Amino acid sequence: MKVKTILLDSMAISRALRRISHEIIENNKGVSNVVLLGIARGGIPVCDLLAENIYNIENVKVPVGKLDITLYRDDLPQDLDDAKVTGSEIDFSLTDKDVILCDDVLFTGRTVRAGIDAIVKRGRPRTVQLAVLIDRGHRELPIRADYVGKNVPTSKEEVVSVTFDGADSRAVILSAK
């Protein structure tokens, strides 16, 4: 596929995630009850960078976990052997916590719905909030992000890709095939 445009370079990603970190702190009146869960794969670096930012701002390490939503997807392959299950890594309770679900790109909302299903199987959080780096629209479910790095209107045929490689991090729109 051919790259159409770079939406965010590494500096813009860093600025967007710092802003989101401040918004999370402000909206939750601190982070004493906040936990962060990154949806495997793209949400994990977003989650880790938010946790790092929150630590730098508040000097508090918030609990961070990895959420594998594979078994909660509505497009799960009929043959479960084809599903790549990596497993969640959450070593803390979600009950009565303010859970910030993190992902790189919000599109139809189906991944987030699967994430919410996976969360409630593990406990009953006080709130579930959504933080995404890019919101590209085209919702199929009534889901919206609480924290957005950048809203980007796209066509359904376009592909938005985010790579996290330190100084080479970027979010790009790839043209359709």
Three-class secondary structure of residue 135 per DSSP? strand
Give the tens place of pLDDT for each residue, 128-147.
999 999 999 999 999 999 99
How confident is the model at residue 167, as a pLDDT? 72
The mean per-residue pLDDT over the stretch 13-26 comes to: 97
The number of helix segments (H) and strand segments (E) in the chain equals 3, 8
Burial of residue 79 (CB within 10 Å: 0-12, 13-18, 19+) is exposed
Instruction: Name the pTM for this structure.
Output: 0.92
Give the tens place of pLDDT for each residue, 91-118.
999 999 999 999 999 999 999 999 999 9
